[in-house]
Amino acid sequence: MTSETRYHHGDLPSALVQAAVEELEENGAPALSLRAAARRAGVSSAAPYRHFPDRNALLSAVAAVGYGELAQDLVEVSPAPTTPADLAKVAVAYVDFALRRPGLFRVMFAEGCDTTSPDRVAAVAAIHDYLGSIVTSALPDAPAEPMAIAVWSLVHGLAFLHMDGKLNTSSDMAVAEQVSSAVYAVLGHSRHG
């Protein structure tokens, strides 16, 4: 099935988002444009504008895909986290996602997206709610919202520090050790307590 055939069946938005994700993985966010996504999807350079009025709209759709994938990874690691150890596992998975998908992660958090995009807003809310539920379960005596923000800020900062080469990424074990240790330190918990 060609891209033109997919378009006539109404699947052009999905094809363009997939093409944009592939473009990110190969060439990074600066190279991503509606024209590049159209070229990769095999459609005319005007075709994307029927579904995405500008680059930010496409980036928002890509970010929503990234948030969905990140949420899936986090839930896979710990479907119902209730302990600080579970929280540390989720933190490691978050940083691992950033290291495996740096282009996508940067679009999710560092590129100009449409903050009113319903898909993006829903995806961000799902991540926020998931992280908030972990804090509530794992740290029942902590103030839920401030602690959720603090933990997310810590883990998010660790993700960017690792991606930017400021922390040791020589092995998955080294990353996991650094992230887990930082989470336990901030929570005031020992690994065994």
Nearest Cα to 139, choosing from 86, 180, 182, 66?
86
pLDDT at residue 57, rounded to an integer = 87
DSSP state of 115: T
Confidence of residue 181 (pLDDT cuts 50, 70, 90): very high
CATH code for the domain in which residue 116 is found: 1.10.357.10
* Range with lowest mean pLDDT among 17-26, 36-45, 69-78, 126-135: 126-135
Return the percentage of the chain with pLDDT > 70, whole number: 90
Which of helix, strand or coil describes residue 104?
A: helix
Confidence of residue 138 (pLDDT cuts 50, 70, 90): confident
Q: Are 59 and 113 in contact (CB under 8 A)?
A: yes
Q: 45 is in which domain, residue-wise?
A: 1-52
Q: What is the pLDDT of residues 11-59, one digit of tens each?
A: 889 999 999 999 988 988 888 899 999 999 999 999 898 889 988 889 8
93 and 128 housed in the same domain: yes
Unique residue bearing structure tokens 């944009």: 20
HSE on the CB side for 152, CA within 13 Å?
18
Mean per-residue pLDDT over the chain, rounded:
86
Judge whether 66 lies within some domain. yes
Judge whether 123 lies within some domain. yes
- The rounded distance, in Å, linking the Cα atoms of 180 and 191 is 9
- The rounded distance, in Å, linking the Cα atoms of 136 and 125 is 16
Nearest Cα to 40, choosing from 53, 58, 57?
58
134 and 97 housed in the same domain: yes
pLDDT at residue 79, rounded to an integer = 87
Average pLDDT over every residue of 134-141: 87
Judge whether 193 lies within some domain. no
83 and 174 housed in the same domain: yes
127 and 180 housed in the same domain: yes
